[in-house]
Amino acid sequence: MSSERKRALCWIRRDLRLNDHCALAEATHLADEVAVVFVFDTRILDRLEDKDDRRLTFIHRSLQELDRKLRDKGSALIVRHGDPIVEIPSVAAELECDLVVAGRDYEPYAIERDQKVKVQLQKAGVEFRSVKDSVVFEAGEVLSQSGTSFRVYTPYSRAWRARFNLGDDAAAHDVDLEKLMGSRQIGSQKKWSLESIGFIESDLWLEPGEDAALERLGRFRAQIARYGERRDFPAQPGTSTISVDLRFGTLSIRDAVRLAQEDGSPGADKWLGELIWRDFYQDVLAHNPHVVDRAFQPQFEGVEYPGEEAWFEAWKSGMTGYPLIDAAMRCFKATGWMHNRLRMVVASFLTKDLLIDYRKGEAYFARYLLDFDLASNNGGWQWAASTGADAQPYFRIFNPILQSEKFDADGEFIRHWLPEIAVLTGKAIHWPHDATAMELAGANVILGQSYPHPIVVHGEQRIKAIELLGAAKR
């Protein structure tokens, strides 16, 4: 290789695509030849509890698509299985790269990992460069007038919108695919089946990969104007369903923001607000890394939650006796996905009705959520538990029966996931425990047998939650 020709390695992590790709664009801008690498990180994989983890299936199939696209361009995806601190310098050395480029990751483990990789590369005379990709604004870019980080979403959102410029902050980053290193230069690749890294295929409720992500965004384009009206109803196709695409970067956040801005409808503006929540929770995590294992609001850190382990198990298995809660949890167990309205309701129920530490629910979601993101998951759970970044007082508590009647009025979602009570009609589908003996008999429902009695009484638990959190607040 001529000494004048510069080679770069693009290390992909949360950006499993070729379109609007900041790290790959940077690499192809700075170098003459670019190779793309992904590392199945054993330091992460070794902590996973399930060999059929849906996220690994989503990642693996997205990488297969990416590899096909690279091969169509005469290149190939390099895949390694091991510790990135070893693997990335190794690949860079093999290919005689001068530069490694990656999209920034803001989770504590990732920050530590990238720093160690950078040190190893520098020892070998290789530059490491990280670029912003997975957020519109990262920590430090949206600050209050006094120069401090925000602790509440609404003022953060106002400042975010005031700073945002569509042409700059959501501009597409074009990749020069003509600079991809040829497959002959890259060399033969070891097999990287899921089985070879110790995992097995899972069933997914949505198609992985960049092409499917762009299709999902395209379908949502036709209904984004009605997002504000439809987003809270789990039985309706009212949401974008791109959370997993944003999590793994099969879709660019800028693609999503451009759609919201270009549509300009009230529904699109409401959806933009949800995208801003993503940036906000990343901002909270970056400025307050203690939230990973402690309450954002320190006065709530010492709360001793009296909820019973049996209640937690009933919540996980969808056997609480509260139909909307049970339907949501069974859907989650079957798919690894949950509608955002239901995430709030089941989290409120666990923390405020069952009086169980939010960290147990957060960990359960972290294990099974297909779109698991540390910042968003932690932020959402602390919001529901009233321990997090939120302007609302601790006595905001969702009534699961009223939520059911309002957002699944016809019981369509409940009937799909709770077939044992599907024949019930009217208010009985939302609360079978007040149904008449005739209604129950007609639906072949035997409370306590075919469907459980409620494990707690909402009204009583609400008072206990207010007392518990009120004492901590004082």
- Residue 352 burial class via C-beta count within 10 angstroms: exposed 0-12, middle 13-18, buried 19 and up: buried
Is residue 129 situated within a structural domain? Answer: yes
Helix or strand (DSSP H, E) at 217 = helix 210-221
Looking at the structure, tell me whether residues 39 and 161 fall in a common domain: no
Give dist(CA 315, CA 320) in Å, integer.
6
Is residue 191 situated within a structural domain? Answer: no
Looking at the structure, tell me whether residues 329 and 422 fall in a common domain: yes
What b-and-e string marks burial along 305-334, b requiring 16 or more CB atoms within 10 Å of the CB?
bebeeebbebbbebbbbbbbbbbbbbbbee
**3-state class of 128 per DSSP?**
strand
Q: What pLDDT is stored for residue 390 in this prediction?
A: 80
Best CA proximity match to 360, nearest among 341, 336, 384, 327:
384
101: tokens are 């480029």
pLDDT in tens, 376-421: 999 999 999 999 998 677 788 999 999 999 999 999 999 999 999 9
Is residue 113 situated within a structural domain? Answer: yes
Looking at the structure, tell me whether residues 96 and 152 fall in a common domain: no
Supply the pTM of this predicted model: 0.95
Cβ atoms 351, 343 nearer than 8 A: no
Kindly give the pairing relationship between strand 127-131 and strand 99-103: parallel
Q: What pLDDT is stored for residue 6 in this prediction?
A: 96
Give dist(CA 401, CA 429) in Å, integer.
10
Is residue 460 situated within a structural domain? Answer: yes
Looking at the structure, tell me whether residues 22 and 160 fall in a common domain: no
In this structure, the chain runs to a length of 474
Q: What pLDDT is stored for residue 326 in this prediction?
A: 98
Domain boundary among 84, 112, 133: 133
Count: domains in the chain: 3
Looking at the structure, tell me whether residues 119 and 168 fall in a common domain: no
Is residue 11 situated within a structural domain? Answer: yes
All residues at 6 or more sequence positions from 411 whose CB lies less than 8 Å from its CB, including other chains: 323, 404, 424, 425, 429, 430
Looking at the structure, tell me whether residues 47 and 117 fall in a common domain: yes
DSSP assignment of 396-417 equals: ----HHHHHHHHSTT-HHHHHH
Looking at the structure, tell me whether residues 306 and 426 fall in a common domain: yes
Is residue 139 situated within a structural domain? Answer: yes
Looking at the structure, tell me whether residues 109 and 27 fall in a common domain: yes
Looking at the structure, tell me whether residues 353 and 388 fall in a common domain: yes
Question: Can you list the positions of beta strands (E) in 83-147?
Answer: 99-103, 127-131
CATH of the domain at 2: 3.40.50.620
Q: Kindly state the DSSP code that residue 118 receives in the 8-state scheme.
A: H
**3-state class of 106 per DSSP?**
coil
171: tokens are 């501009």
Give, for all 474 residues of the chain, the pLDDT tens digit.
445 789 999 999 999 999 999 999 999 999 999 999 999 999 999 999 999 999 999 999 999 999 999 999 999 999 999 999 999 999 999 999 999 999 999 999 999 999 999 999 999 999 999 999 999 999 999 999 999 999 999 999 999 999 999 899 999 999 999 999 999 999 888 889 999 999 999 999 999 999 999 999 999 999 999 999 999 999 999 999 999 999 999 999 999 999 999 999 999 999 999 999 999 999 999 999 999 999 999 999 989 999 999 999 999 999 999 999 999 999 999 999 999 999 999 999 999 999 999 999 999 999 999 999 999 999 999 999 999 998 677 788 999 999 999 999 999 999 999 999 999 999 999 999 999 999 999 999 999 999 999 999 999 999 999 999 999 887
Expressed as residue numbers, the domain containing 342 is 298-473
Kindly give the pairing relationship between strand 127-131 and strand 7-11: unpaired
Q: What pLDDT is stored for residue 391 in this prediction?
A: 67
62: tokens are 């997205």
Cβ atoms 449, 456 nearer than 8 A: no
Domain boundary among 108, 133, 158: 133
Is residue 195 situated within a structural domain? Answer: no
